[in-house]
A and B are shown apart, each in its own frame.
Chain A
Amino acid sequence: MIKTDILIIGAGPTGLFTVFEAGLLKLKCHLIDALPIAGGQCSEIYPKKPIYDIPGFPEVLAGDLVRNLMEQIKPFSPGFTLGERAETLEKLEDGNFLVTTSKGTQHQAPVVVIAGGLGSFEPRKPPIANIDKYEDKGVAYIIKEPEIYRNKRIVISGGGDSALDWAIYLAEIAKEVSLVHRRNDFRGALDSVEKIEELSKSGKINLITRAEVVDLKGENELEAVVIRHNGDDSVDGIKPTDFFIPLFGLSPKLGPIGDWGLEIEKNAIKVNNAYDYQTNIPGIYAIGDVNTYPGKLKLILCGFHEAAIMCQSAYQRIFPEKKYVMKYTTVSGISGFDGTRKEARKEIIKSIN
């Protein structure tokens, strides 16, 4: 059981900065994120894209912003549960919340902050009518243990980097690898595309371009895929296979948070913006892109602001008897939980004789 003061769901820029604001109030934080790395969209979707509207940064790459935030919050020693999705939330008798992840990790805190952005990133499923029926029965959207594909027949579809990389990897261990792609050209890294071409020429990868997997066959488990060439359904081919792995990137879904009894409007969580960004459940806040209120702007800088306000409210909630007076970091410096201390350099008064 992980116990903390503020449990943050989502380790994007807003979630990360919350650790800093909470740290100034001597509150400890723990973050949960479905992605295996911190940074949310900034790390997963556009690490190399420049951002121009972070105050004080005329231009900063999204990946660098995340690195800076991680550096900034380091003194406050945040805990991380990464690669696990927050699944269930339960209110305990003592007023604490219990949040359990997809892997069963339990977290307990008096305050929960949802900084979930667009939601958790999940693989895009191709629109094949019966695909759900074969999930875990031959259809996989993520490759977790490559070894299960040893000496098997595999059909991969997609034309991006992950489709190419896995086709190359599996060509070595599988009995047969087919790569189905809608177009003739591949948009992955040049090295990968060249390698695929080479493997295709030497017969190690069966390259099927200008084609799509349109149907799946099999009694209880997947036995074959139906491949349609160039949108022409008169020449559909049936390809026997053990596995079908569609790799079409990730897309964000609000996911299980949507079932926690929070008031939702257009895929976002409604909060009280007149005060502290609290949701309809006292003790649960929502900040950053995941929340909505009149005049909401989905900007990183707005998420930072919401984090600062929200932490003040959380402090009052955790210590109702205490009165906190806000201090400026320029005046008080930063005392980390790791024993580090940062403060303005003292001027030295020395008379010259």
Chain B
Amino acid sequence: MLDIKITIIDREGEAHLVDAPTDMNMNLMEVCKMHELPVQGTCGGMAMCASCHFYSLSHTDHFPEKSYDEEDMLDQAFFVQENSRLGCQIPITKELNGLEIKLAPESM
């Protein structure tokens, strides 16, 4: 069993329980796109657009540390909170099973 379950709450507040593969070198942004959730992923995963900005509601301890690029982008993004991260910087690992996240509002 290589899939884990993740709950993604969209911008309208609706929760989506989705499968995420741990063996395909995927990140959270790509999982959202795979399930056609409203995440643009404009920059393709380089931490340069913040279109995959989300709030983590669990499992924060299992996330990797923020890289300089991610910190830098979150610095310029809007609606940033303590639990803000960029989906493209979070690899899908089995430790994240049961993760809950909420998509941040889209900026103009």
Contacts and interface: CB of A to CB of B under 8 A. Distances in A.
Interface residues of B, number: 19
Contacts of A324: none
B48 A127 contact: no
Contacts of B75: 159-160, 182-183, 187
Contacts of B98: none
A159 B73 CA distance: 10
B72 interface: yes
B49 interface: yes
Contact of B72 (A45, A125, A127, A187): A187
A252 interface: yes
A288 B88 CA distance: 22
B43 A182 contact: no
Contacts of A126: 78
A337 interface: no
Interface size grouping (class) on chain A = 20 to 34
Contacts of B48: 45-46
Given A49-B46, A248-B76, A125 B108 contact: yes
A249 B49 CA distance: 9
Interface in A215-252: 248-249, 251-252
Nearest to A231: B81
Interface string B57-74: 000000000001001100
29 contacts: A45-B43, A45-B46, A45-B48, A46-B48, A49-B46, A124-B78, A124-B107, A124-B108, A125-B107, A125-B108, A127-B79, A127-B107, A127-B108, A158-B76, A159-B76, A160-B72, A160-B75, A160-B76, A182-B75, A183-B75, A187-B68, A187-B72, A187-B75, A248-B77, A248-B78, A249-B76, A251-B49, A251-B107, A267-B40
